[in-house]
């Protein structure tokens, strides 16, 4: 079982890496073919299904990135503007 869990983590990591690098479908599929469990690679159809499910989550991942950045910018703006507006009081 540990080998399956490790393989799932590796596949997830590779998918995120390929997404960040902007690799195409074929290159991503080739990278995923390097993941083995007990020396056996996953069937191509299974890897294609995994990629498809990962792509389905793209919009949600992008939304989180945008939301996180927006929150961070808003929080920093509030902190910095308070400092700026009160700089003469110190």
Q: Where residue 75 falls among pLDDT bands split at 50, 70, 90?
A: confident
Instruction: Determine the Cα–Cα distance for residues 73 and 52; give it in Å rounded to an integer.
Output: 33
Instruction: Determine the Cα–Cα distance for residues 16 and 27; give it in Å rounded to an integer.
Output: 13
The region of weakest confidence among 2-6, 42-46, 49-53, 59-63 is 59-63
Here the tokens at position 82 are: 């308070």
Could you tell me the pTM of the whole model? 0.65
Domain ranges of the chain: 1-56, 58-90
Q: What is the pLDDT of residue 26?
A: 95
Q: What is the pLDDT of residue 34?
A: 95
């Amino acid at each position: 079982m540990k080998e399956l869990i490790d393989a799932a983590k590796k596949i997830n990591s590779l998918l995120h890496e390929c997404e960040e690098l902007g690799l195409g479908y074929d290159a991503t599929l080739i990278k995923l073919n390097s993941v083995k469990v007990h020396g056996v690679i996953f069937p191509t159809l299974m890897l294609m299904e995994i990629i498809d499910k990962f792509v389905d989550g793209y919009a949600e991942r992008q939304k989180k990135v945008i939301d996180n950045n927006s929150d961070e910018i808003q929080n920093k703006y509030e902190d910095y503007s308070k400092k700026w507006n009160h700089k003469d009081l110190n």
